[in-house]
Structure 1
Amino acid sequence: MADTPTLTTLPTFPFDTQAGHDTDPEGLRLLAEGSMVRARMANGGQEIWLMLGYHVTRQVMADPRFLREPVTKPDAPVTLPALVGVTDVVSVLDAPRHTRVRRLLAAAFTPRMIERLRPRIQSVLDSLLDGFVNYSKPPDLLDMYLAPLPITVICELLGVPESDRSNMREWAERFMAASVTPEEMAATHREVGGYLAGLIAAKRAHPEDDLTTALVQVTDEGDRLTEAELVINIQTLLVAGHETTINQLANGIVTLSRNPNQFDMLRRDPGLVDNAVEELLRYDKLVTSTIPWVAAEDVEVDGHLVKAGDAVVGVPHVANRDPAVFEDPNRLDITRPNASQHLSFIHGPHFCLGAQLARTELRMALAALLSRYPELDVAVDHADLEWRPNTLNRALRRLPVTW
């Protein structure tokens, strides 16, 4: 077995990386030394394992001996404020309950439902692009295009009335805050949960053609989602269904602007957009890390003994730069043949339920934007871009653009 460093020599996680950086240089340095390392959490000092290598990360993500439910307990080896006491959301459930809840969610959240959204997504895109003429330059692309699209789409998918949509982005930002007290997080859960309980009751009384109604009605041999499962999983879809897409789109525009040869290639050949989206998902850091796993028993991983009760944290954006899988991984290449093998949507049983919706929105939004405004680019020096502090997402405050 490999030796474990002493506490005083352990790297600290999350890494102290400058805001807006597209990856973590410290993570890449550690990856060059080994695919899995011991570290300690910056807030609280808990010892953890960091998964940095691609193959190690995939192995742990798919191994049933690594569990997620323990991280919801107050005495968890790694405590995440947004997850403490949350016992019904599919992303932190383990089999057999995870299997049951995910099957019910997937029965309602179908590829066919997402495909049916395409005309509406295109309509929203066209309307937003038409509105560009109303902005004086340099306008904020986040405000006029990148944020309205995912918020509109996820709210229409879930059947959230237009009059209620102004709260959605604020709620998402509160859930994604990096520093928040348990009391503040509990208050946000109560506020959002109370709203969604009312929405669910309305859909139960007056069914409509939307995902919330489908989730209320879905059944598998008589089994249904409980009220608590409905509320927390719709909440997760609502938050993850737009906050991550907004930031991935914005980060992608910045990355393309930082790589003008790739940006020009995409402008000349719009047929590259699907692969460009996959390469941007691989290349760009979006979130700091995954939800931790906890070993249910002693497991050997890549020559290391992970003991029962040890917390294991994945860093997909570092694994996505693993040279064992991706040639010249620190270079953006929108023609990369294996770009879609990235781990940004996780792997195994917890693979992102909304991956197809995210891919659809990202591809359509980028294609429509460059079709209408092919010369669009960031309007300020990249060093002058303002990034939101205190957030688990890599997120811009504004994205000034010109065309």
Structure 2
Amino acid sequence: MTQPADAAPENPTQLPQFPMRRTCPFSEPSEYARMREESPVSRAALKVNGKPTWLVTRHEDVRQVLGDPRVSSNLKRPGYPHQFHISDEMLAHARLMMLSMDPPDHTAQRRMLIPEFTARRVKEMRPRIQEIVDERIDAMLASGDTADLVAALALPVPSLTICELLGVPYEDHAEFEGWSAAMMNHDLSPEEYGAAVQSLDMYLDKLVTQKESEPGDDLISRFLEKNAAEQVADHADVVTMARMMLVGGHETTANMIALGVLALLEHPDHMAELRSDPTLLPNAVEELLRVFSISDSGTARVSVEDIEVGGVTIHAGEGILALNNAANHDERIFSDPGTLDFHRKEARSHLAFGYGIHQCIGANLARAELEIVYGTLLRRIPGLRLAVPADSLRFKDDAMVYGVYELPVTW
């Protein structure tokens, strides 16, 4: 159904507000199911600035949008649905991350990074990831019989892993983790958001400058070496790439570790099943990724031509949020989608890592980290349980990436 040419002017104040809150951490926002059935491509107003955008909720339509070359990821294009308080000045001077680039620039940078994240490369990294996980669990067990799993395990494991991969000194983790968390917060003012980005970029600028003259055995150094021959990025572009890799490489996985452990603790039968049959772990990881879909609206786009999605015309210059949490609960693809099922045959059809040319480049690494953390916890701490009622936990309803702020556990 296309919009009539003589439709009444749109009033953003009368549109549903986005983002929509999850009332249960294991479920999509309640509005999504109704939207999928009644208006799978519909209008909403962004809470951060009141601007209208399109919400796409069905699996098939989300895939279409993310695979359509007439849709842009460039956050500088008019109509792009920004979800943070970002000033016009900052936007004008911003360097595009690879995630916000369109071909051919995106293609050139991604081609240089792909070798760092192949299945073979990640397989080679698994023994070191296992060492990191064991070291953190050793420290947990030595500290007593209680811990905040976020601070003790969920955050340090991916943070240390990505630091070693990039060549970022882990001793600086408190600073960059703070800047990263601020950059994920919808509620910060433009000044606070800008200060977090600027602080992290200044830190990485010094690091990249150092590696330009003193390269090491790390991703940033290897990127610089390739770039010297191919010239696809300047110094500032490399800094921006490093920011994307550092933030994306630990923020999402850290939240998935904590939420996945919470799901196991709240579903003891599933936990017992995994403990008795570890071969289920890979599919369990896919199912947990599907259920939580923590980067629901990370697939923001803007149409550069008129396109039709789900029978609705989206005009050039209009913003689109292709909601992977809604897509990952689409009954047309996932039977009984609200149920956690580690035997689900279609689990890997989820779109939690996106789809198309911008699909998460670090998906193989994230999967490996999740498998190793969940499997090691089940093996080494069989008595793990929540130390507080689940309904007292604080969830990240104010953040771009969903998660839990603390996860107190005991054993």
Same topology, TM > 0.5: yes
The offset of 1:87, in angstroms, is 3.3
Is this contact kept in 1: 2:290–2:325, CA < 8 A? yes
For 2:44 and 2:83, the matched residues in 1 are separated by: 17
1:307 pairs with 2:309: no
The offset of 1:350, in angstroms, is 0.4
Q: Encode CA deviations 1:349-400: one digit per residue, 9 max, x unaligned.
A: 1000111111111111111111111332223221111224532222222111
Where structure 2 has 5 or more consecutive residues not aligned to the other structure, the ranges are: none
Structure 2 vs 1, CA of residues 140 and 326 (structure 1 numbering), >3 Å: closer, same or farther? same
The more displaced of 279-288 and 380-389 is 380-389
For 2:115 and 2:228, the matched residues in 1 are separated by: 9
Q: Encode CA deviations 1:315-358: one digit per residue, 9 max, x unaligned.
A: 10111000000111111101101101100000001000111111
1:243 pairs with 2:251: yes
TM-score (norm 2): 0.91
For 2:203 and 2:385, the matched residues in 1 are separated by: 39
1:88 pairs with 2:96: yes
The offset of 1:19, in angstroms, is 7.4
TM-score (norm 1): 0.93
The more displaced of 148-157 and 34-43 is 34-43
Alignment-mate amino acid for residue 78 of structure 1: P
Alignment-mate amino acid for residue 311 of structure 1: G
Matches within 5 A, 1:106-255: 106-219=114-227, 222-255=230-263
State the identity %: 34
1:63 pairs with 2:71: no
1:78 pairs with 2:86: no
For 1:394 and 1:19, the matched residues in 2 are separated by: 12
1:393 aligned residue (376, 401, 405): 401
* RMSD between superposed Cα atoms in Å: 2.2
1:100 pairs with 2:108: yes
The more displaced of 341-350 and 166-175 is 166-175
Q: Encode CA deviations 1:146-187: one digit per residue, 9 max, x unaligned.
A: 111111111111111233222121111011011222222222
1:50 pairs with 2:58: no
Is this contact kept in 2: 1:46–1:77, CA < 8 A? no
The more displaced of 91-100 and 284-293 is 284-293
Matches within 5 A, 1:280-319: 280-319=288-327
For 2:389 and 2:409, the matched residues in 1 are separated by: 11
The more displaced of 210-219 and 286-295 is 286-295
1:336 pairs with 2:341: no
Is this contact kept in 1: 2:211–2:220, CA < 8 A? yes
Q: Encode CA deviations 1:87-125: one digit per residue, 9 max, x unaligned.
A: 331101111221112112224555444333222111111
Q: Encode CA deviations 1:217-275: one digit per residue, 9 max, x unaligned.
A: 11496334321221011101101111111111111111222333222211221111111
1:32 aligned residue (37, 40, 50): 37
Is this contact kept in 2: 1:90–1:98, CA < 8 A? yes
Alignment-mate amino acid for residue 349 of structure 2: Q
For 1:281 and 1:222, the matched residues in 2 are separated by: 36
For 1:66 and 1:214, the matched residues in 2 are separated by: 31
1:15 aligned residue (14, 20, 24): 20
Matches within 5 A, 1:364-403: 364-388=372-396, 390-403=398-411
Structure 2 vs 1, CA of residues 110 and 234 (structure 1 numbering), >3 Å: closer, same or farther? farther
Alignment-mate amino acid for residue 103 of structure 2: A
Structure 2 vs 1, CA of residues 162 and 41 (structure 1 numbering), >3 Å: closer, same or farther? closer
The offset of 1:34, in angstroms, is 3.6
2:282 aligned residue (234, 258, 274): 274
3-state SS of paired residue (1:218) = helix
Aligned to 2:370: 362
Is this contact kept in 2: 1:34–1:53, CA < 8 A? no
- The number of aligned residues is 401
Structure 2 vs 1, CA of residues 105 and 226 (structure 1 numbering), >3 Å: closer, same or farther? farther
Structure 2 vs 1, CA of residues 310 and 224 (structure 1 numbering), >3 Å: closer, same or farther? closer
Aligned to 1:41: 46
Is this contact kept in 2: 1:125–1:149, CA < 8 A? yes
3-state SS of paired residue (1:72) = coil
Structure 2 vs 1, CA of residues 38 and 224 (structure 1 numbering), >3 Å: closer, same or farther? closer
The more displaced of 194-203 and 319-328 is 194-203
Is this contact kept in 2: 1:279–1:339, CA < 8 A? yes
Is this contact kept in 2: 1:294–1:311, CA < 8 A? yes
3-state SS of paired residue (1:289) = coil
Q: Encode CA deviations 1:62-111: one digit per residue, 9 max, x unaligned.
A: 00001111x335x5452344683433311011112211121122245554
Q: Encode CA deviations 1:14-58: one digit per residue, 9 max, x unaligned.
A: 114447464211112211324222222223222211010000000
Is this contact kept in 1: 2:287–2:342, CA < 8 A? yes
For 1:304 and 1:191, the matched residues in 2 are separated by: 42
Alignment-mate amino acid for residue 81 of structure 2: V
Alignment-mate amino acid for residue 71 of structure 2: F
